[in-house]
A and B are shown apart, each in its own frame.
Chain A
Amino acid sequence: MDSGLKIAGMTGRRFAQFIHYNKRRRVCIMMKRKTLLMAIFSALLLYPVISWAGTEKYINAGIFALIVEIGMGLSIIFLAWFVKNKLKIHIPKLMQAPIIWGFAFIVFRVILQPPIPFTLLAVYMGIITIAIFLYSSIDEPSWKEFSTPIRIMLQEDTKNAKTSRYIVFAALPLLIGYGTYDKMLPKFEEPVELRTVHPAPPASINLHGKIINLQTEYNPFRGKGADGKEEAGAQYMGKNPFAADAPKYLQNVREGGEIFFGTAGCVFCHGDNLDGRGMFAFAFNPIPANFSDPGTIAQLQETFVLWRVSKGGPGVPRETFPWASAMPPWEKHITQDEMWKVIMFEYWHTGFYPRTWD
């Protein structure tokens, strides 16, 4: 009897343990899922705040763009999960395709501001279209689900299949016809331009009677660091160039600033934030270069900038046309030393460093 009770007791305990263990495990899994989803959800709540910080330039544009992209990705995953698992709605693959396409179109056409050019939009949407096809055919069941309605529409003789077939075969030529009409319709838009932002510089330039080799020349006001290389000037970023005891480097920066704002008047076009939005900026098309963008002077060597400043718009080589630039050739107005100083100022002010040879 005792032994019988013992066995019953052990079995009961084991059963209880089993239940407990499984319950805990399930709770754990559920907890994990909930935590993950809550994290995604919270991240999405933070999203407007981050967007605001980005547009107000409280955070770096690069990080902002990255957060935007990650946010979009997470929201797509969250939305898909919510529709599928919480609302218990199964959207057929054939319907998912236009939904994803439409969503991507809204993101690239409406949400992404300022609007991107049509050529880029076409590239993006082309990739999305391919991605949708790959997604729909990623494995056999998925492909079957995607292609079966199309196959039925094309092959079967049911009433629904026939109707949809007629609609598709009537709509297709109409769409193509409309596309042709739209293409042939006379338009008064200016044609697209493939503008070379960084034209290739010549190997050397003649500046005030002196030949300057753009590959070997360096800014004489920069000085050299302990390693014998040109000084990048990291330690001077954010320091006051007007201080009485400002080092030589910052004095040169200050003089460059005086030329930028005063003697040469670069400020009128390139703006006081060096963002290409000076008071005359919008008289030009395209507007002047934005030095605070990581894609302009941050990508270039100082000698390249010297070439552009000294020779201006008229000095760009023929093979880099179309090149629309209203920049005057500054060699006719300021000295070479002044040009070097103004270039130093531009880098110091924007916080970028010139590209150097390693």
Chain B
Amino acid sequence: MRSLMRWLQSPKRKRVGAFLALSLFAVALLLPLVPVFAVAEDTPAASSDTPKIEKAKDVFYKTEGIVYGPPAPKLKYPDNYGTYGTFQSRTILWMANQQHLYFGSFVLAVPMFVMVVELVGMLQKDKRMSKKYDDLAHEFMKISLTAYSITAILGGLLIFTFLALYPGFFMYLASIFRPVMHVYALMFILESGVLYVYYYGWDKMNDSPFLKWCHLSLSVLLNTVGLVLMFFANTWLAFMQAPAGVDDQGRFLGNIWNAIHTPLVIPIVVHRILGNAAFGGGVVAAYAAYRFLAAKSPEEKAHYDWMSYTAMFMGVLNLIPLPFAGYWLMREVYAYRQQMGITLMGGLLAWVFIMQATMIATLFITLNYYLWTAMGRMPGSERYTRFFKYMLLVLIVATLTWLTPHTLVMTPAELKAMGGAQHPVIGNYGVMSAKNTAINIIITTTVLCFCIYQRANKVPTVKWAWWGNLALGAIFVGAATNVIFLGIYGYFIPANVRIGLSVPQVCSTLTTLFIGVTLNTMILKNARSLGEIRWGQMSTRGAYALFLLAVAFTWTMAVMGYIRSSVRLHWHINEIMRDASPWAFTNPIGYAGNINSLNVLIFWTMLLFVFWLGTLTDKKVHSTVKDTAGEGIEGVSIPVGSH
């Protein structure tokens, strides 16, 4: 042991050691999966013992398999359903699910940031900065830890709600995912163990570089377990929406992988990971904004100002690819069932999509607004202030287009006055060409705003700055021109070609994001500073904007979850198991909006409690931020990605 410790003295070997330890953990992680695959492989042998082998066709993969389970039960009300008085069982389950999901996604998202922030801290050469990032990561984790126990409580509540109100459905789902559900529970134990070692061992493992690398490895492990957990939970809902691995009567065909790998699971998982990360960033930013508003000393204000910016930045990093992931998911939904796609986008749920569009526009506009107001604390930003109003104009025009519905709500008299269901002018903005153009312009403007933020207090000193700026301008103008041109061109070509146009539109936007921001960063290399960021001097409007951003995230999640869930219409499991309860109808939009708002309210009430708990334990003095508070102080922090 001693010789091993001696061998690990060199930093390089320490990293190798940490990597090996992590790999061992990862292998250990895969062990719970063994029973899953064992079941899958055992199936034919097990069934060969039975006197009669019945084969059936997979409802999605169309492959033949040996029938392994009973058919999906034909449920009856009230036999297979439970009630609590006159309350709608569906609404109770909906709320229990939503609350668990909120907290679950928050506690899975925060460790992702913590991992990045801790790594950034470790890579810092300046020890003071390193400690600053480390403290930040630790503080993020502290908020997450309180939320973790609430998640577990809500998870228990959800299971009991399922068992009490929807026992027939839950038993069937459990009969198919039985082995996976056990793995899920085991993973939860692992997650808890790693989380506690990771959090409580923080200070102890800061002592030596080797232990610090081990600590970071634990963070990687924590995130891996978290992602696997989320993956399992996602497979169940993806199965409900688009089942596979069963025949048309719902009989399990023995291959658990087919039931997991359903047609929509991958896009749902990707969309949810990005969504969770964006949501987690938003909530932590809101926490920091809350502390900023409550802060008494300039040091505290400076710390939370910086923290809110960093969290917001990480959330937004995941927000930007989110619409594209959503687009992919919808494309897959259409490919799976055209009927489902139309119900979502053009039919019954189209107006709920307008709500979602409203929230997305709110997110992007709020984000831009935060950046504009945040530039108030950067000397030299006055050079750009006059452009903000034009950017706002572009954003508002794009939002008006983005929100113009295809299906208008109107009285019959208005319909007659308009001369038909489609308006001759604004009807053009209700279709996909206009929507794609609008959202791409909104995102491009946001990227431009971020580029301005990056250079607000800087003057480029590189020799090629003029050419660089020209190229940067060309990228943005070119992208906007391409997006608008393709948007207009889309009206003149067949729909299948038009769908294809979204790819070059997205590419234009992503070019501004990746090449534009990289070029901007290169131009700003060794740039002359016009003064350091005056952390702590963010306007209160900026702090409220961050709050709005987080609430908008929460509401968007509620509304999107509702849409995804209610697109099954009267099915518990699409085309396999019918919902026989009296609540198998689609809710009126107003009711759905109210329940979503109530969910948001409950979540934020609980979250404010978590935030308050955070203030109780926080007696730490933010020693390093002292330097960053106030005006024009040297050696100040520059958060990730801001330069």
Contacts and interface: CB of A to CB of B under 8 A. Distances in A.
A124 interface: yes
Interface stretch (A17-25, A168-176, A294-302): A294-302
B423 A63 contact: no
B409 to A, nearest CB: 4
Contacts of A68: 425
Given A63-B488, A198-B347, A112 B425 contact: yes
Contact of A65 (B425, B541, B586): B425
A197 interface: yes
A206 interface: no
B426 A65 contact: yes
Interface in B477-499: 488, 491-496, 499
B142 interface: no
Interface residues of B, number: 71
Interface in B586-615: 586, 589
A355 B409 contact: no
Interface string B302-343: 000000000000000000000000000000000101111011
A285 B406 CA distance: 19
B365 interface: yes
A229 B435 CA distance: 28
Contacts, number: 212
Contacts of B428: 61-62, 65, 294-295
A133 to B, nearest CB: 10
Pick the most buried of A194, A290, A304: most chain B CB atoms within 10 A of its CB: A194
Contacts of B539: 140, 143
B77 to A, nearest CB: 19
B383 interface: no
A190 B410 CA distance: 10
Interface in A106-124: 112-120, 123-124
Contact of B416 (A66, A138, A285, A356): A285
Given A114-B418, A193-B412, A201-B342, A62 B488 contact: yes
A61 B425 CA distance: 7
B369 interface: yes
B414 A115 contact: yes
B420 A287 contact: yes
Contacts of B228: none
A313 interface: no
Interface in B402-430: 403-430
Contact of A190 (B397, B403, B412): B412
Contact of A120 (B350, B388, B404): B404
Given A61-B424, A138-B389, A196 B350 contact: yes
A72 B417 CA distance: 24
Contacts of A289: 420-421
B411 A117 contact: yes
Interface string B422-442: 111111111100000000000
Contacts of B385: 138-139
A335 interface: no
Contacts of A61: 424-425, 427-428
Interface in A330-355: 352-355
B407 A197 contact: yes
Contacts of A214: 338-339
Contacts of A195: 407-408, 410, 415, 421
Nearest to B393: A73
B403 A200 contact: no
Given A203-B339, A294-B431, A319-B586, A353 B346 contact: no
A131 B396 contact: yes
B140 interface: no
A197 B406 contact: yes
Contacts of B389: 135, 138
Contacts of A130: 365
Given A139-B385, A199-B347, A293 B422 contact: yes
B372 interface: yes
Contacts of A352: 494
A304 B346 CA distance: 13
A189 to B, nearest CB: 6
A356 B431 CA distance: 16
B422 A120 contact: no
A342 B202 CA distance: 73
Given A120-B426, A138-B392, A200-B343, A356 B495 contact: yes
B411 A200 contact: no
B47 interface: no
B348 interface: yes
Interface string A183-194: 000000111111
A294 B429 contact: no
Contact of A119 (B350, B372, B410): B410
Nearest to A139: B385
A288 B38 CA distance: 60
Nearest to A113: B425
B392 A194 contact: no
Nearest to B344: A200
B392 A134 contact: yes
B40 interface: no
B339 A193 contact: no
A69 interface: yes
Interface string B371-406: 011011000000001001100110011011001111
A215 interface: yes
Nearest to A356: B496
Given A139-B385, A286-B415, A114 B424 contact: yes
Contacts of B493: 353
Contacts of B429: 65
Interface in A126-146: 127-128, 130-131, 134-135, 137-140, 143
A309 interface: no
A232 B493 CA distance: 10
A127 B491 CA distance: 26
A109 to B, nearest CB: 13
Contacts of A320: 347-348
B85 to A, nearest CB: 28
B188 interface: no
Interface in B184-232: none
A247 interface: no
A189 B500 CA distance: 44
A64 to B, nearest CB: 7
Pick the most buried of B343, B406, B417: most chain A CB atoms within 10 A of its CB: B343
B342 A200 contact: yes
B60 interface: no
Contacts of A304: 342
B351 interface: yes
A203 B430 CA distance: 25
B486 to A, nearest CB: 13
Contacts of B431: 294-295, 299
Interface in A294-324: 294-296, 298-299, 301, 304, 319-320
12 contacts: A63-B488, A119-B410, A120-B405, A120-B409, A139-B373, A192-B410, A197-B421, A199-B342, A294-B428, A295-B428, A295-B431, A298-B495
Interface of B: 335, 337-340, 342-343, 346-348, 350-351, 365, 369, 372-373, 375-376, 385, 388-389, 392-393, 396-397, 399-400, 403-431, 488, 491-496, 499-500, 539, 541, 569-570, 586, 589
Please provide the 9 A-B residue pairs with the shortest distance between their CB atoms, ordered closest to farther.
A353-B494, A117-B410, A355-B495, A198-B346, A200-B343, A200-B347, A119-B409, A200-B342, A62-B491
Given A127-B399, A299-B346, A319-B586, 17 more contacts: A77-B393, A113-B425, A117-B414, A120-B404, A120-B408, A134-B365, A139-B373, A140-B539, A192-B409, A198-B347, A200-B339, A234-B494, A295-B406, A301-B338, A319-B569, A353-B494, A357-B335
Interface of A: 60-66, 68-69, 73, 76-77, 112-120, 123-124, 127-128, 130-131, 134-135, 137-140, 143, 189-203, 214-215, 232, 234, 276-277, 285-287, 289-290, 293-296, 298-299, 301, 304, 319-320, 352-358
